[in-house]
Structure 1
Amino acid sequence: MQNQYTFFDLIIDVFTIVKTPLSPDEIWEKAIELGFDKKLGSLGKTPSATVGARLYVDVKENGENSRFIQVSKRPSRFLLRSLSLNKKEIESEIEKIEKKEYTEEKNYKESNFNERDLHPLLVKYVKENSHFHCFAKTIYQENSVRKVKGANEWLHPDLVGVYFPFGDYSPETTKLQKSMNVNSIKLFSFEMKKHLDYANLRQCFFQAVSNSSWANEGYLVCLKINNDSDFRNELQRLSNAFGIGIIKLNAQDINDSEIVCQARYNENIDWDTLNRLAEDSPDFKRFISDLTEDIALGKVKSNYDKVISDEKYDNYLKEKKII
């Protein structure tokens, strides 16, 4: 009987070919590229996290007898011990990788597109994704009632969304839900960022916490997220603690975007915050008015942000120069 192909086999096979220090995410990406992922019997929900767990445990428990060595901590990178690179060679390889990553990160942060250019990407994703299937609307903070400096800070989400059950349930089922006071409508809050790393994590995260208490689910949405395993673990920890979800957009294939951390569903709407948003923001007030009208009609007739068609999507990315 042939032995089952394991994650350890996959990691060793990747290093045997690549021969350079890699993070768990990079190992998994390379494994997919080389087709090693197809040899595994079961992938699990987060295979790159499984790769990281296998490496961390093996290095920690076996020390110098481990088949792997950890060559850097932030980001965490590993190497197959049998490759026998000396310290200078390892440092040289890491320097090359970090120089390349620094250049890519610098080019990305200096790119001309802004956060609001990403709104149509999210609008398309949440409308077509089965978890959300929602209509979204941009909230323009500059339209809000002017108050003393800092009064409205972190109050407004970048986008809001609403899921209606009209298309998923028959009119009879919807009427029954209404008579039984069952609410299938969901409200979403989205905070948009171009990138997320150690430098801006807490500010971005708690901004999302601050402006999403009124919604059933709140999300922090990014186009680029630091791939370091320690960083992803910190993201998950914060998400578990405060209930905020994380979405990583894939600009090239928007339907392949990823819910990195699922938001905790909040049954209790914060009506005070919702009321303040409606008082301060004409856009949010219009959103509430529109969804209330649609609920009364039992169908969507209001104007939410337009969903870009597949035919126009690529042209939009080129026009806005979104990387």
Structure 2
Amino acid sequence: MTYTFLKLAEEVLEEAKKRENIQALSHVEIWEKAEKYGIQNKCSSSGKTPWQSICAQIYVDMKDNAKTIFAKIGTRPVRFALKKYVENGVKITDIEQKIKQPKTIFSERDLHPLLTKFVYSNSHFHCYAKTIYHETSAKHKIGRNHWLHPDLMAVYFPFDSYQTGTLDIIKSFYESKMKLFSFEMKKEITSSTLREYYFQAVSNSSWANEGYLVALKFDQDDDFREEMQRLNNSFGIGFIQLDAMNVEQSSVLIPAKIHEQIDWDFLDRLIEENPDVKNFVDSINGDVLLQKVKNKNEYDEIFDNSKMEKWIKDKGIE
């Protein structure tokens, strides 16, 4: 008998209730749990958006099958539960209330350590990051500093990668291998927020050698990814998806366009407006003079694996 997406949804909902006491999931969450439980390959479909197939098949079953086993829970997003549990003394409103009140609500800034660890461990970046606190900026007329500050800035030092002799010849040829990165952080990006968040990143991160929009979650459909690619083709900001399950396996979904020259006027304004940026630049200048990172505490801490696991658990990041 063919193993359908309906059967997969049923098995996932059973497992989610048994393992995690979760009674309702969206179609995207059903697929994510299938991957987590290692049962996603039971379906033979090779489509690019299996979560959409799950959604479509459940809706058709609920519409056409009088004996459907599924129940719809809530809106925006719609979630699905097994009807037998809903009819077995569990009210739909109780499930909705549980969904609407998560145990922990983490902030965008709580994601900074994840990005800091990823960009240090990833061979493309191998950089030191620094959180920029917008609230420390000089106070001006409302709107002057709108979309001015990135959430994090980062620096790549060649002396972390090259031997002394190589550095000397780089100097002889008047080349600098240093790079500056700029990041705009979001917890989640949907189709309705993509363009707003993207142009926020364009505004505050295009000055750097590479600028990125970063998020823990994205809408997982082809139209969304195509729009991301179109925006990148036009404006050059890249996209990074963080992986809370394995931070070092986070993904550069779309690489940023590399700018050989930094917008020094923009950086100068950031230095003037924000003491965190000034301290970051001062730290870079000091480390360049010494040709080594003198004090890593001047940058954001790079968590080891155990501290990262505790951070993610304590903050409720998932």
The TM-score, its normalising length taken from structure 2, stands at 0.75
Change (3 A) 1:32 1:318: closer
SS for the counterpart of 1:266 is coil
Mean CA deviation greater in 93-102 or 113-122: 93-102
Q: Is the 8 A contact 1:15 1:80 kept in 2?
A: no
- After superposition, residues 214-293 of structure 1 pair within 5 angstroms as 214-293=207-286
Within a 5 Å distance, the mapping from 1:148-227 to structure 2 comes to: 148-227=141-220
User: Which secondary structure does the structure 1 equivalent of 2:262 belong to?
Assistant: coil
Of the three residues 70, 86, 89, the one matched with 2:64 is: 89
Per-residue deviation at 1:139?
A: 0.5
Question: Aligned pair count?
Answer: 279
* Corresponding residue for residue 290 of structure 2: 297
2:79 is the alignment partner of 1:100: yes
| Pair 203,94 (structure 1): closer, same or farther in 2 beyond 3 Å | farther
Q: Does the alignment pair 1:127 with 2:120?
A: yes
Q: Which amino acid aligns with 1:179?
A: S
Specify the code of the residue in structure 1 equivalent to 2:222.
Answer: S
The RMSD of aligned alpha carbons is 3.7
1:102-159 deviation line (CA, Å, top 9, x unaligned)? 969x649995211111111111111111111100000111111111111011010000
- Tell me how far apart the structure 1 counterparts of residues 145 and 41 of structure 2 sit (CA, whole Å): 51
- Letter aligned with residue 88 of structure 1: K
**2:120, 2:126 within 8 Å by CA — same for their partners in 1?**
yes
2:133 to 140, 153, 156: 140
Report the more deviating stretch, 184-193 or 299-308.
299-308
Letter in 1 for 2:211: G
Alpha-carbon distance between aligned partners in 1 of 2:207 and 2:102, rounded to the nearest angstrom = 31
**Residues 9 and 54, structure 2, Cα contact 8 Å, conserved in 1:** no
Distance 1:258 1:221 in 2: 10
Instruction: Name the CA distance, whole Å, in 1 between partners of 2:100 and 2:255.
Output: 30
| Cα pair 1:243 1:264 within 8 Å, conserved | yes
State whether residues 238 and 257 of structure 2, in contact with CA within 8 Å, keep that contact through their aligned partners in structure 1: yes
Q: Is the 8 A contact 1:198 1:231 kept in 2?
A: yes
1:99–1:215 CA distance, 2 compared to 1 (3 A):
same
Q: Work out whether residues 14 and 30 of structure 1, in 8 Å CA contact, stay in contact via their aligned partners in 2.
A: no
Deviation at 1:181, TM superposition (A): 1.5
1:314 matched residue in structure 2: 309
Q: 1:36: how far off?
A: 4.7
Structure-1-length-normalised TM-score: 0.74
Tell me whether 154-163 or 123-132 shows the greater mean CA deviation: 123-132
1:19 CA displacement: 8.0
- Name the SS for the 2:188 alignment partner: strand
* C-alpha distance in 2 between matches for 1:311 and 1:80: 41
Is this contact kept in 2: 1:246–1:263, CA < 8 A? yes
SS at match of 1:322: coil
Q: Provide closer, same or farther for how the CA distance between residues 76 and 204 of structure 1 changes in structure 2, counting only shifts above 3 A.
A: same
Contact 1:194 1:224 in 2 (8 A): yes
Does the C-alpha gap of structure 1 residues 142 and 178 become closer, same or farther in structure 2, counting only changes over 3 Å?
same
Using the alignment, how far apart are the partners of 1:216 and 1:273 within structure 2?
13
| 1:205 Cα deviation after fit | 0.7
What are the superposed Cα offsets for residues 287-320 of structure 1, whole Å, 9 maximum, x if unpaired?
Answer: 1111111112111114111111112111112222
Amino acid at match of 1:167: D
- Secondary structure at 2:253 match in 1: strand
Give the aligned partner of residue 17 of structure 2: none
**C-alpha distance in structure 2 between counterparts of 1:297 and 1:204, whole Å:** 38
Give, in angstroms, the shift of residue 80 of structure 1.
10
Does the CA-based 8 Å contact 2:182-2:211 persist in structure 1?
A: yes
Residue ranges of structure 1 left out of the alignment (5+ in a row): 1-11, 40-47, 56-74
Report deviation, 1:230: 1.4
